[in-house]
Structure formats: structure tokens, C-alpha cells
Amino acid sequence: MNAPVTQAVNIAVTPPPDHIVISQIYGGGGNFGATYKNDYVQLHNPTNSSVDISGWSLQYASAAGSSWTNNQPLGGVIGPNEYYLIALASGGSTGLDLPAANISGSINMSATTGKIALVRNGVPRSGICPKDDADVVDFVGYGTSATCAEGNLNAPAPSNTAALFRKNNGNTDSNNNAADFTTGSPNPLRTTPIQELGPWVASTGPIFNGTKVPHDDSITVDFSEPVDVDANWYNISCPSGLHNDATVAHSSDFKEYVITPNVNFNFSEQCTVTIFKNTIHDQDLDDSAPNTDRLAADYVWSFTIVDAGQPAPYAPSVHLTMGNPTNAISDVTTPNNYLMEKPTYALSYNRDKGTPNWVSWHLDSSWYGSLARVDTFRPDPAVSPNWYRVQASDFFTTGFDRGHMCPNADRDNENRIPINQETYLMSNMVPQAPDNNQGPWANLENYLRTLTAAGTEIYIVSGPAGVGGTGSSGFMTTLANGHVTVPAYTWKAALVLAKGDNDVSRVNAATRTIAVIMPNTQGIRTNDSSDWQNYLTTVDAVEALCNCELFSNVPEIIQNSIEAGINGVNPPGVANESASTREDMSVPVTLNAVSPNNNPVTYVIDAPPSHGTLSGADSNRTYTPAPDFNGTDTFMFHVTDGTRSSNTATVTLTVLEVNDPPVPSADAKSVEAGSVLTFPAGDLLTNDTPGPANESTQTITVTSAGSGPDTHGTVSLAGTQITYTPETPFSGPASFTYRVCDNGYTAGLSDPQCATGTVKMTVVDTTPPALSNLTPSATQLWPPNHKMVNVSVDYAAPDLGDPAPVCLLTIGSNEPINGTGDGDTAPDWDVIDAHHVRLRAERAENGPGRIYTITATCADRSGNAAQKSSSVSVPKSQR
């Protein structure tokens, strides 16, 4: 019988972990052929004590990722040896429903490779491998491409039908993911009772003890579940004072609240935020257990604002050196063209679109460096608190990138962190399709920086245009409940100069501009770094799209050259011109042109003037307006250098009016001799004109009336009435003058002109002379001695129209002219003149006596006549 042999056998028994572990991982939820509809993670408490995980989080990053913002808050108590189930996102509708979970979240994990961390708080991890962070309770990197794992060895790859299992039912943790995990059919298990949990703060931004916080940052508070907040639910205290005057926004699920102070923080100060426990209430109705409606305690954390760093290399005005594309102003009454001038860039903000209309910035090598990217996306507190402030989360899950207009990499100088942080303000963002933003758009950004590295400086303007783009989730027109417009295009224009001073004056027709218009859609990304050239266009085309005026401080004639060129290949340029002259005066016009190569150019008149003629050749022309024309005339021209033609320019010719005097026409009036004629002065204007036809709208007025040598009377103007009084005696033609004036202008200044008109008068005489009675010097001739007796006849014949009527005397008798008294045969009477006669003193013996009848007939020159008679007797006897 053999003697017993004693042998020592060493058996290594791994003690169970002394902390909560990740015991099962499944990322294929809902995918094709998936076992379960949802991803899930299972936790296990291998210890003999209950562990309260309130305030912890589960954080996920892609296999090679460094962003840990996929963050699921955790809560409750896991008892000894219990399994705690966390339901996560779904990739579709395939698979079984999970058992009721302790917590449901939205992390969407890869089915085959990724990284997941169990963290003692809600602060997102940083870097690609935070497995050794003090607050990381457990860490698993799975699949072949994961860049971090415990023991630096990855757990095997699960699939849509296989989960990762921690060995020994979760009781093994050698800090070697490859050794500690195996795969198997998914088997979600929950033994921890489902507990009603009160809300807690899952994470904050800035993070606990965060540093280099933007001086215009917002405060983000993520709660574990949907909550309502009371008034005055927070306090933000800094050495610079309280910053509680703020706008507050929340996510659609009421889990995230964003506080945007209206006053910026001071550089380098440390601030403390307090969330008051009694002001936070979860939205569920199961609040029967203690502390299940409010925070368990006030939540307090602090952070430090970034140092000011070096100032920007140029004043903020540099960004608008080449012009303000839409004449934006800093006035809230123009909410859709609101100017913001920052050290980093200038922009026109559009309240209704929630995006910039344009962002303009200067770029040279002094602006950038090697600062690592830090995604400090946040609302812009410079947006009026009365407007919607676009949130950093508004683009999440939309399929659109938060697309920088002024790129982060254009401002990544390591000595100017605040300058870089300004590029992450949401006022600098537009929703860009990933293939636009990360494809040709990014390639153009990189190319422009290579130009500045070679010694140039560039003035850049970019912006969105149109409505409706296609991101990775399909076509959309708006985001954030309509607060943000998705553009149809993104555009950019860059003006490239050699480094120097007085930049506007150095722009010439050979200056290179680079302009692109890119569709805001998927499918345009390529592996070609120069693919941005597929979208080259002219600045003119960009201006037509954005309804803006780029590089407007550059002289127009140069603009018209460089803005019509593509990528520096420019045509000649001409610009609108103007000249002025006066009516009936010619004016020389010098036509100007610029050429990128200084070659001679040929001037071509495209449209001649409409109201004048053009003479001359080449650039030297003379414009002659048509007679009496005043107003605006134009002609159009362009130039060609034999290879390319310029734009067409318009020359505007202003012909200043020269007021011509009125043109009076003779008027005719009549009046009775001895009467007075009064008539409206306006009667004289009926046949007068203000001047040439182009002055027909002028008003003319009689200003005076005057007499002359042919007036034969007096004339006067009293008010609007003219009175003509002919002299007496007078009849026949007469005339007087009047002065007529207009109310015209010369060269825009009042310049009344006057002229003299004539009124032809006819003084009409229809009244015979006023013949008086005749008075002979003798009424009897005695003795009848047959002698001739001289008799004078006295009378007067005044006339209104004739100063000297013609009077004649005629004699008649009751006895024959040859009397029978003495047989004398001589005439018995003789008319000497109009006032003297000779009568024979004789009579017939057998008659009663002789009676001579003397008749005076007076006629004026108008043919009016009067007649009167008187008698002289030779009596029969004198008794």
C-alpha cells in the first residue's frame, strides 16, 4: 500500500468586483434581424451593499469618437446582487419588446463596436479614452475598432442577434474587457425593483468646475426626467454681480433647460449656479413616496470664465472694410436686417429666419493657429431677449449640421480663445446638409486658409439663400418649430489681396474674387479636395441670389469687373456715369473703363440718347440736347478688349431747364369814344403761351399794363382788372402794352421770365357832333338896298371822337335866287366859309319879305353828322 502523498495546489479565485459593473450590452435593437426592438445596457451590483446611483450616468461614444454627449441619467438604488436594466434607443421595429426597464433612454449604440462608460456624475467625459478618469466606475470598449478599452483589449463584437455578457453572471472584473466579456444570445434581466424616482440634475453646462467657459455662455441644466420649474428657480452669482436677468428655453421633452443671461460674464471670474430644490417638480403624477417630486437638495456648482486672451489682430470694423452688404443697422426695429459687429466677424441677423443673412470677416494668417476644437455651441445673447434665441440643440436629430459661416478654423489662434468661441454662437450658424458642410464647403474653407498662409489677406462674406434643403434625414424647410429656416443654398464670396494697407484702394480690375453657390443637399461630398470648384460662379450671381451688394465700398467700375469674373478671370468694367447741362447747351462726356490686363478697349454705344444727339469717338463724346428739351436722357455703352466684354453701363444726362419767357399774342379790344373799358386781365392770356411746349404747365400772369405814344388815353391794372380810358376827343386805332410773367424754374431755382404783349384798341365813334344853335350876326337886312351884307354865323360843334369835325354852311331862301326886285342877276348869297356868308339885302316888291335860311352841317370823321339852321330876313317894310 502506497503511502499517502500530500501536494499543495494553488487555485486563484478572483474576488467579485467591489463596485457596480456593466454586465450586459446589446446595440442591435430594432435593426434587421434583431432579437429585441431596443438597445439596452444591464448593470449589476456584485457587492453585499445597496448602492444609490442617483446622479450617475451612462455615457456612450462611437468607436473612434471623443464626444461623450450621448448621456443617459441614472437613478435609484441597486440592491446586493441585483440587476438593473436600462432600455435605450431603437433602430427600427424589428424584435421583441424588452422587459420593463428601470430607466428608459435614447442612446443609440452601434450593434458591433463602440465605447460605453458608467460615470459617477453627469459630466460628459472628454477625449477618446477616459477609462481611467476618477469618476468612471466601469468602462467597456467593444468590437475591433473601439479605440479604448479596459486593459487596452477590446471586448468581442456583439451583433443584432448577440449581446455582450460579463462572465460569471457579472461577477468578474479583471479590468480587461477582452478577458471579462463573451457573447451570447441577448437576455435582458431586471431584478432591481422599478422605483419611483424624484428628479435630479443629470448634467450641466458649463460642467462642474469647468474652465475656459465663454464669457457669453448659457447655463444648460439637464434633468433626469421631464420637469416643471417655478419662478426664480435658479441663481447665478459672480463677482460681477447676479446674472439672473435671462431668457429661459427648454427642450420639447422638458428635460433640458437653457438659461441665457442678458449680460455677459467678466473674463476670468468664477461663478456659482444654484438650482433650488423646491422649485423643480417632475411632471409625472406618482409622487407618493418621499422626495419623488422635487430635487433631493439644492444643486450647486461653479465654473470659471475664460481669460480675455490677446485682443483680435484688427478692430471689429475690419470685417466691413469692403462694405455692409445689406446696409444692416443695430436697431431692433429692423429685426430681419439686424447688424452685429463682433471682434470675430460682422453679421446681419434675420429674426424670422433664425439665421444670419450674411456673415462677413477678414482673414489672414494672424487670425488662426493650432487651438484644438472645442464645440461651445450656444445661443447668442446679443440676439434680443424679445426674439427667439436659437438653441444649440435646435439642430439635433434633424439631419442638418450646425454649419459655421465664419469657420472655427479661421479663428483658432491659441492665444485668443474667446475669439474662437465666438464662432460657435448660433447666430453664426445655418442648417447645412452634412455633405455640403463637410464636403466642398469645408474644402473651400481649407483652400482659402492656404492662400493666407502664402501671404495674402481675404475679405469673405457667406450666407444662406432660399428655403428648403435636404439633410441626412430628408427634405426640410424649417427647424425648431419654424424658428429656423433651412436654406436651399449656401453661398460664399471671397476677395483676395496681397497683404498691405489701405485695402479698398488696392482693389483693381485684376483682383481675384472667388464665389460659389452650393446646393444645401446630400450627395455632393466627394474625395476631391478641389470639388468646391464645381460650384464656382460670379459675385454678380451671388448678389442676385442673396439680394445684397457685396464689396460695395469698392468703386463701382472696379466692382463691375471683379464681380463679373470667375475665380480671378475678369472682364473689363464700366460703370454708370452722369453729366449735366442746360437747355440748348452741349456737354462733353468722358466714358471710363477699367481693364484687368490694361489692353486697349473699344467703346460700343448700345443705345443712343432719346432726346438729343451724341457725337465724338472712343471715350470722348459730346451730348447735344434737342432744342428746348429739359429733363433726363440716357444712353448706354459697353467696352470690349477683344476677348471679353464688359457689363453695360448707363450714362444719365440731366438737362436742366432754362426758363423761356412767355409768348404773348396780340389782343384786340374796342370801346366807344368817350367811354371807359374795364375787363379781366386774364382775357389777355387766352392766346398767350408760357413758352415752348415743355413749359406748358407753367402759370402765366399779367403783372402790369402800360401806355405808349399810340395809346390815346390811359391804361391801368388794379388787382386783376385792366381799365382803358381813351382820350377825348379821339376815335380810331390805339394800343397799349401789358407785361406777362411765368412761374418757371432754371436749374431747379425759381426764375420767372416776362414778356410784353400788345392790346390793339379800336375807339369807336357812333355819336354825331354836338352842334349848338346858330347865331347869325344880323337877323334882318335893312334897308333892302340890294347890297351884299356880310353875316357871321356863330356856333360850336364839339365831338367825342373827332377834335375837328367838318362843318359846312348852306343857304336857302323863300324867294328865287335871282330876285325880281331890281333886276340884278348876281347871286343873292354867297358862302364864304363855315362861319361867314354874304346875303343880298333885297326882296320882291310884291312879297311879304325875304327869308334866308342858313343851315350848318357838321360831320366827324366817323361819318356821324349833325345839322341846325337859323334865318335872316329882309322884311317888306320896317314898321
Q: DSSP states of 594-613 as a string?
A: B-TT----EEEEEE--SSEE
What is the C-alpha separation between 649 and 283, in angstroms, rounded? 67
Tell me the three state secondary structure of residue 252: coil
What is the C-alpha separation between 579 and 652, in angstroms, rounded? 7
CA-based torsion, 98, 101, 104, 110: positive or negative: negative
Segment holding 234, helix H or strand E: strand 234-238
333-334-339 Cα angle (round to 5): 120
How many helices and strands (H and E) does the chain possess?
A: 8, 59
pLDDT value at position 287?
74
As given in the structure block, the three cell numbers for residue 638 are 459697353
As given in the structure block, the three cell numbers for residue 407 are 469657420
DSSP character at residue 408 = G
What is the C-alpha separation between 585 and 378, in angstroms, rounded? 65
In terms of C-beta density within 10 A (0-12 exposed, 13-18 middle, 19 or more buried), how is residue 464 classed? Answer: buried
CB 562, CB 539: distance < 8 Å: yes
Segment holding 450, helix H or strand E: helix 440-453
Whether the upstream peptide bond of residue 464 has omega within 30° of 0, thus cis, is no
Residue 404 is among the residues annotated as catalytic for this protein: yes
Q: How many CA atoms are closer than 13 Å to the CA of 650, on its beta-carbon side?
A: 7
CA distances from 248 to 226, 251, 340, 389 (A): 15, 10, 22, 9
CB 551, CB 559: distance < 8 Å: yes
As given in the structure block, the three cell numbers for residue 115 are 465605447
Whether the upstream peptide bond of residue 206 has omega within 30° of 0, thus cis, is yes
* Structural fold of domain 201-305: Immunoglobulin-like (2.60.40)
481: number of Cβ within 10 Å: 9
CA distances from 371 to 309, 367, 411, 416 (A): 13, 11, 9, 9
DSSP character at residue 861 = T
Tell me the three state secondary structure of residue 480: helix
What are the E-state strand segments in 262-312? 270-275, 280-282, 299-305
Q: How many CA atoms are closer than 13 Å to the CA of 785, on its beta-carbon side?
A: 5
pLDDT value at position 817?
66
Residue recorded with cell 424658428? 483
Of 654, 607, 659, the closest CA to residue 632 belongs to 654
Asked whether the domain spanning 666-764 has the same topology as the one spanning 575-653, the reply is: yes
Of 404, 360, 332, the closest CA to residue 546 belongs to 360
DSSP character at residue 30 = B
What is the C-alpha separation between 406 and 394, in angstroms, rounded? 19
Percentage helix, strand, coil, to 5, in the chain?
A: 10, 40, 50
Tell me the three state secondary structure of residue 729: coil
What is the C-alpha separation between 407 and 443, in angstroms, rounded? 12
Segment holding 180, helix H or strand E: helix 177-180
428-434-438 Cα angle (round to 5): 80
Query: CA-CA-CA-CA torsion for 445, 450, 453, 455, nearest 10 degrees?
Result: -100
CB 306, CB 214: distance < 8 Å: yes
pLDDT value at position 4?
53
- What is the CATH number assigned to the segment(s) 775-874? 2.60.40
Q: Does domain 575-653 correspond to CATH entry 4.10.640.10?
A: no
DSSP character at residue 562 = H
Of 762, 761, 756, the closest CA to residue 688 belongs to 756
pLDDT value at position 860?
94
Distance from chain centroid for Cα 578: 25
Q: Show me where the domains of the chain are located.
A: 21-184, 201-305, 316-563, 575-653, 666-764, 775-874
CA-based torsion, 621, 625, 630, 633: positive or negative: negative
pLDDT value at position 823?
41
What is the C-alpha separation between 689 and 698, in angstroms, rounded? 9
Segment holding 202, helix H or strand E: strand 201-205
Q: How many CA atoms are closer than 13 Å to the CA of 656, on its beta-carbon side?
A: 14
φ/ψ bin of 191: left (φ > 0), alpha (ψ from -120 to 50), beta (otherwise): alpha
CB 415, CB 369: distance < 8 Å: yes
* Structural fold of domain 666-764: Immunoglobulin-like (2.60.40)
The side-by-side arrangement of strands in the sheet containing 721-726 is: 677-680, 721-726, 713-718
Residues 6+ apart with CB under 8 A from 501: none
Single-letter amino acid, residue 640? T
What is the C-alpha separation between 444 and 441, in angstroms, rounded? 5
What is the C-alpha separation between 699 and 548, in angstroms, rounded? 45
The one catalytic residue in 319, 404, 483, 712 is 404
What is the C-alpha separation between 689 and 405, in angstroms, rounded? 66
What is the C-alpha separation between 324 and 331, in angstroms, rounded? 15
As given in the structure block, the three cell numbers for residue 691 are 413758352
What is the C-alpha separation between 363 and 7, in angstroms, rounded? 80
Of 490, 482, 487, the closest CA to residue 406 belongs to 490
DSSP character at residue 340 = E
Q: What is the mean pLDDT of each run of 10 residues along the chain (879 residues)?
A: 50 71 98 98 98 93 91 92 97 96 94 98 90 97 98 98 98 98 98 90 90 98 94 98 98 96 98 97 81 86 98 98 99 98 99 99 98 95 98 96 98 98 99 98 98 97 99 97 98 98 98 99 97 98 98 98 98 98 96 94 98 97 96 97 96 95 96 97 96 92 96 97 97 97 92 97 96 96 92 96 94 75 66 96 85 96 96 86
* Structural fold of domain 316-563: Extracellular Endonuclease; Chain A (3.40.570)
pLDDT value at position 122?
82
What is the C-alpha separation between 863 and 800, in angstroms, rounded? 13
Three-state SS letters, 628-667: CCCEEEEEEEEEECCCCECCCEEEEEEEECCCCCCECCCE
pLDDT value at position 397?
92
Query: CA-CA-CA-CA torsion for 89, 95, 100, 103, nearest 10 degrees?
Result: -10
pTM over 0.85: no
pLDDT value at position 128?
96
Of 620, 619, 623, 596, the closest CA to residue 608 belongs to 623
